[in-house]
Amino acid sequence: MRIHFLGTNGWFNTQTGNTACTLLELQDCYILLDAGGGLYKAYDIIKDDKPVYLLLSHLHMDHIEGLQILPLFNWRGGLTIITAGGNKKELENIMRPPFMPAPESLKTKTQILEVGAAKNLPFDFAALPLEHAAPTIGYRIEAGGKTLAYAVDTGVADNAVKLGRAADLLIAECSYLPGQSPDNNHLNPQQAAALAQEAGAKALALIHFKADDYNAMHLRDEALAAAGRIFEHTLAPYDGDILEI
């Protein structure tokens, strides 16, 4: 499984990166995790006929702002957008004029499914609710003998541990600065590291660095160091980084 980190910022786009978007390249398909401002970078990567699945964590704008550039793509294998139960109507309300072209007008054949209706996919996945200000789900994806967990936009949550159990890679969020924890809507690096530790994950990748707090790259290095003292196999990828698991 090849992982492209297309957007590693949280909240808004700055010189440190775009908002959350991660692309998984699998044998039979592509999986996009969230559609933040980094989504446009998929244009240079997805060039073949494999189907594309976009798994949304929730509908906060920094995770869906990239949807407005869907007209750029002509993905011949089609696009299936998967969203949390109860979210489909709200997503359809955003994915229409005057906000953006409707799915049926896109070059790419596009459908929207809630998680419960997403069956017979070329990968196994589970979704569980997380702790956040809006209804948010995390994912556990199993494909090609590898397991990847995605817990982005969450506070401390038992379900994040369940999703990350013995995963080859846990992608977790790191909105807050080391030691900061103003609420349980997001994690700081130590909390993300403790999550990876408790889950028994093999590796941890931190993303969703809150753009106003992490306004320079060296602050990410400090987060990485703080997390690494608790969970050794921690990475803090930049936009454009590629990881193979």
Binding residues for Zn ion, per CB under 5 A? 10, 60, 62, 153
**Cβ at position 57, least distance to Zn ion in Å:** 8
CB of 242 to Zn ion, least distance (A): 22
Instruction: Please name the amino acid found at residue 187.
Output: L
Nearer to Zn ion, 60 or 220 (CB): 60
In one-letter notation, the amino acid at residue 230 is I
Nearer to Zn ion, 19 or 147 (CB): 19
Residue nearest to Zn ion (CB): 60
What's the closest the beta carbon of residue 105 comes to Zn ion, in angstroms?
28
Say if CB 216 and CB 16 are below 8 A apart: yes
Phi, psi at 140, each rounded to 5°: -130, 120
User: Is the backbone of residue 200 left (phi > 0), alpha (psi -120 to 50) or beta?
Assistant: left
Least separation in angstroms between residue 48's CB and Zn ion is 30
Comparison of 36 and 103: residue with beta carbon closer to Zn ion? 36
Q: Which is nearer to Zn ion, 62 or 65 (CB)?
A: 62
CB of 20 to Zn ion, least distance (A): 6
153 versus 239: smaller Cβ distance to Zn ion: 153
